[in-house]
Structure 1
Amino acid sequence: MPSRQNLLIISLLSLFLLYLLISRTSSSSSTTNPHIPSSNDEKRGRPAFKQRLIAVGDLHGDISNAQKVLRMAHIIDDQANWVGGEDILVQTGDIVDRGAGALDIYRMMQKLRGQAEGQGGRVVSVLGNHEVMNAIGDWRYVTQDDIKVFGGTKRRQEALAKDGWLGAEWLANYSITASVPLSPHPLSPKLSFTHGSLRPSFPNLTPYPDAINALGHSLLTKALTPPLNPPYPPNPYSGLPKGHTREEAELYAEGGPLWWRGLAEREEGQVCEWARELKEKLGVRRIIGGHTPNFEHIVSRCNGSVIIIDTGISSAYGGVLSALEIVYTLTPVDDKGKDDGHRQDPFMVDDSLPASDYESEPVESIGAKGELKGRYIEREEVHAIYEKRKKWIALEEREVVL
């Protein structure tokens, strides 16, 4: 019989061989988190893709809070220069009125638009009802300090005219609504951005967004063509510009996308029914707008299908500083890791953690390195960013074939 010492040696050798076997198996089969793209994706020849989008609601003449929000969202630095790289920034209108800083905000957005393009990013600007009010001479909410910043009433009107710097900027770079794709692929999901609410029965919804934006551009051009309507007050209210059409009047009416609040104010069941109809008609995944403030938080309805981002950022309201963040990633799926289309449930997150705890790993953008083609895990994270925290709104994953 083997001695006790020999048995001990045999046992130790067996344990050592078992350890080597387990280590080799583990190292050969281990992968990074399959839902967070990694550098290994490049080695497979199908690069990972990431797009980050920031959306900001009504700013109403408060340049200080506007810059705080953009710094909070890592879009600008302390000198108000673009540091967002390839990020997309969407602002949903109502930059003007109720404060004295509108001119500074428009100048900042103009500068950021050029800087973003230089880094592969993008700035998307949507007109609010207050922009169009100013264009047609409805100055009820214009402050005297704002008029002084422009250099007086006459110079303010000159700036707003179609050949003035601000009027020309509105006509060139601002629209009534925007459809923003989350990736460069032709089948990319899109998001809808409008200042107010889109009404499912609005007669010029499609083709989206071109039909609405053509009406908006036509109305704005007429409003900004000299002579402009005299400001009200102190002059009588002039209304829409001469020569406007019935369709343009409906665009600016209470039920149009600049003024209507239905998606923000109606009961949940009705809103979800409208959201389903709108998403199908417009070909978008989410409908995002401002106009109706909630001073405490960004409002998500119908599981994130509708998101209202006006939180009264301007000191004229005193609401919370906020920005909406959407992080969209595509992670290649190995054939070996095929899950037959079964969707993995998203992990649960404690939304009380500080914003820094939610920073996602850096992911290399597709750029010019390759094409989006093949099987991917598509992941869309939607967060509300506040001054000291980040809160989950929605998290969706699905397998897609591009």
Structure 2
Amino acid sequence: MTMLTLVWYFTICTLLCQSIVFGQRIVAVGDIHGDYHRMLTILKFSGIVDDDAHWAGGDTIFVQTGDIVDRGDDTIKLYQLIQKLQEEAPLHGGQVVSLLGNHEIMNLSGDWRYVSEHDIQIFGGVEERKKAFAPEGWIGRDLVEKNLTAKVGTSVFVHGGIHPSFAQEGVEGINLKTRQTILDYVESRGRHDPYKVFGGHGPTWYRGYALDDGNICSILDEALDLLEADRMVMGHTVQRDGMIHTRCGGKAVLIDIGISHVYGGHFGALEIVGDELTALYRDGRRRLLVDRGRPKMIHQEL
């Protein structure tokens, strides 16, 4: 392990492995997929930003679980907003934790299957968009420094889900392997993935806790024990009714509600304060109830 890697390792532990004050507010939002208007509306009614889109969350920790990009057209505005809030939040005692989703990784590695033509035009063409998503570009250099997962208090946040085979590495280990390999993965256009951290069973793709039945809750318990966490909060699998759902006695929390107009344009965020989980919607707050059934979804596309 190089000195640079060691410095990075202890830096992410300081930022993402720290304990929070019990009762400190956490707000999490799932997949956005290129819809700036709905994202901004959610941030406003959740108390994260003011009417001018500046940080208004105080010491709130705001978590976005990836897939900001693709399908919609607002890539530039969304990444500009996230980067601005990352700078503003610490000035008020808050923090923005922005994680990688599978679509961020796809865009970094040149997989643009879900990029709209209009989005490309807004960038000024294909070459300008490539420059922005390159590791040295204004979006790319931010993305290659992001993590796949974060533990905030007793909750683990991730885009897809963390199977025990990855959970045994711990949050720090998963992020360390991400940082060690992401540049080679991008340069090889997705072919170099020695730890399979970006693969179909990896943390940005795994859907088991959202879709599988049988002993899936036992598998989740094993993962949470390894991660020393109470629950896992995940995006990636769209909930058809636009509502946040829980499974496995509230240990799996599914927050991809289809925010983008492409998926129905729903508005909502998750709030965690202490041991209480609340869904925040435009029409009010709803305490999350335990849902042991199979959640509804739109489909299983990328």
Normalising to structure 1: TM-score of the pair? 0.64
Distance 1:198 1:305, change over 3 A: same
Measure, in 2, the Cα distance between the counterparts of 1:155 and 1:126: 24
* Equivalent pair of 1:54/1:88 in contact (CA under 8 Å): yes
- CA deviations over 1:73-108 (Å, ceiling 9, x no partner): 110111111100000000000000001101111110
Question: 2:23 maps to what in 1?
Answer: 50
Structure 2: unaligned runs, 5 residues or longer: 1-20, 291-302
Matched, 1:240 2:190: yes
Match of 2:263, SS? coil
Matched, 1:129 2:102: yes
Structure 1: unaligned runs, 5 residues or longer: 1-47, 182-189, 230-238, 329-379, 396-402
Matched, 1:285 2:241: no
Question: 1:339 maps to what in 2?
Answer: none
Match of 1:209, SS? helix
Q: Which has the larger radius of gyration?
A: 1
- CA deviations over 1:112-164 (Å, ceiling 9, x no partner): 01110100100001111001111111100000111112121111111111111
Distance 1:298 1:166, change over 3 A: same
Measure, in 1, the Cα distance between the counterparts of 2:73 and 2:273: 33
Deviation at 1:286, TM superposition (A): 0.8
Question: 1:216 maps to what in 2?
Answer: 178
1:292-371 correspondence runs (5 A): 292-296=237-241, 297-328=243-274
Q: Which one of 70, 93, 102 corresponds to residue 120 of structure 1?
A: 93
Deviation at 1:50, TM superposition (A): 3.2
Measure, in 1, the Cα distance between the counterparts of 2:273 and 2:22: 11
Measure, in 1, the Cα distance between the counterparts of 2:240 and 2:248: 20
Measure, in 2, the Cα distance between the counterparts of 1:144 and 1:319: 20
Question: 1:166 maps to what in 2?
Answer: 139
Q: Which one of 194, 197, 206 corresponds to residue 260 of structure 1?
A: 206
Question: 1:385 maps to what in 2?
Answer: 280
Match of 2:67, SS? coil
Amino acid at match of 2:109: I
Question: 2:156 maps to what in 1?
Answer: 192
* Equivalent pair of 1:98/1:143 in contact (CA under 8 Å): yes
Matched, 1:86 2:59: yes
Q: Which one of 104, 114, 128 corresponds to residue 77 of structure 2?
A: 104
Q: Which one of 168, 188, 191 corresponds to residue 206 of structure 1?
A: 168
- CA deviations over 1:49-69 (Å, ceiling 9, x no partner): 630000000000000000011
Match of 1:246, SS? coil
Amino acid at match of 1:90: V
Distance 1:205 1:275, change over 3 A: closer
Amino acid at match of 1:260: Y
Question: 1:40 maps to what in 2?
Answer: none
Q: Which one of 39, 42, 66 corresponds to residue 66 of structure 1?
A: 39
Amino acid at match of 1:193: F
Amino acid at match of 1:390: R
- CA deviations over 1:271-310 (Å, ceiling 9, x no partner): 3212211111110111010000003211111221110100
Q: Which moved more, 1:119-128 or 1:314-323?
A: 314-323
Match of 2:272, SS? strand
Measure, in 2, the Cα distance between the counterparts of 1:115 and 1:219: 30
Sequence identity (%): 40
* Equivalent pair of 1:135/1:223 in contact (CA under 8 Å): no
Match of 2:167, SS? coil
Runs in 1 of length 4+ with deviation above 3 angstroms? none
Question: 2:150 maps to what in 1?
Answer: 178
* Equivalent pair of 1:381/1:394 in contact (CA under 8 Å): no
Match of 1:154, SS? helix
Matched, 1:75 2:45: no
Measure, in 1, the Cα distance between the counterparts of 2:121 and 2:176: 33
Measure, in 1, the Cα distance between the counterparts of 2:256 and 2:94: 23
Q: Which one of 117, 139, 162 corresponds to residue 144 of structure 1?
A: 117
* Equivalent pair of 2:270/2:279 in contact (CA under 8 Å): yes
* Equivalent pair of 1:53/1:87 in contact (CA under 8 Å): yes
Amino acid at match of 2:281: Y
Measure, in 1, the Cα distance between the counterparts of 2:99 and 2:37: 20
Deviation at 1:394, TM superposition (A): 5.7
Distance 1:219 1:146, change over 3 A: farther
* Equivalent pair of 1:100/1:145 in contact (CA under 8 Å): yes
Normalising to structure 2: TM-score of the pair? 0.85
